[in-house]
Structure 1
């Protein structure tokens, strides 16, 4: 049976909308079915591009600004970090091919852990990242110990 969750917001999307949808499916799958979010971001990116071009900027400058608008606040992925924790720390329990699905299942618990952190675009480059990684590792271990798989 096809997964309608992944196909629903795709209809009629612009270049920016499709680019964002593809990125969300990889890094923020919990947002991939938010058609309003995707449409709003895509429109803002297209407007940013047009604005730079109208003001005499180059296509490269316009594309860079559009990408900045499109991906603002999405560079750090809690889901991606959780998937990395599962792949790196629990490879003996959760097979590699199941790591992304497991991360999606455990994402609500990971969000609870991450609430005390400021998850900005550059978060992975901060000292706090190691603390979050350690907390996520402990959380996954507790969940596995309690039979949640």
Structure 2
């Protein structure tokens, strides 16, 4: 069995790919990316040296790489815009608007506990409704309707 560890830059690339899709606000946080990828790499190497399988080593590394990145505000904003405003916002404008709304709606996000179970909670529905209202007001104020 060939036990070959991934290229050392693999973990940083994997994290950057994930951040670009779901946490674009963290994409330029080089300290965060470097720290997480180095911790993941170290965990992978340690598990590898202990004789664990490649898949187990990767599982351990990814658990560190993506720790506390379970709920994406950007993903929720993107979903709200796609679901509630698809007749008003062009497809090409959805991602830029969702990025804009990250800062515009920051006060709406305060007070919620974003844990791994948040999407299954009643708070998720309340937040979804609050975000829909906030985006609607922003769209009207900026003449996008």
Per the normalisation by structure 1, the TM-score is: 0.85
The alpha carbon displacement at 1:109 in A equals: 2.4
Instruction: Kindly tell me the number of residue pairs found equivalent between the two proteins.
Output: 137
RMSD: 1.5
User: 2:72 maps to what in 1?
Assistant: 77
Residue 23 of structure 1 is matched in structure 2 by: 18
Equivalence for 1:128:
123
| Aligned 8 A contact 1:82 1:110 in 2 | no
Higher relative contact order by CA 8 Å / sep ≥ 6: 1 or 2? 2
Select 2:53's aligned residue among 54, 58, 72: 58
Deviation at 1:148, TM superposition (A): 6.5
- Gaps spanning 5+ residues in structure 2: where? 1-7
Give the gaps of 5 or more residues in structure 1: 1-12
Farther off after superposition, 131-140 or 46-55: 46-55
Indicate the structure (1 or 2) with the bigger Cα radius of gyration: 2
* Per-residue deviation, 1:14: 1.0
TM-score (norm 2): 0.87
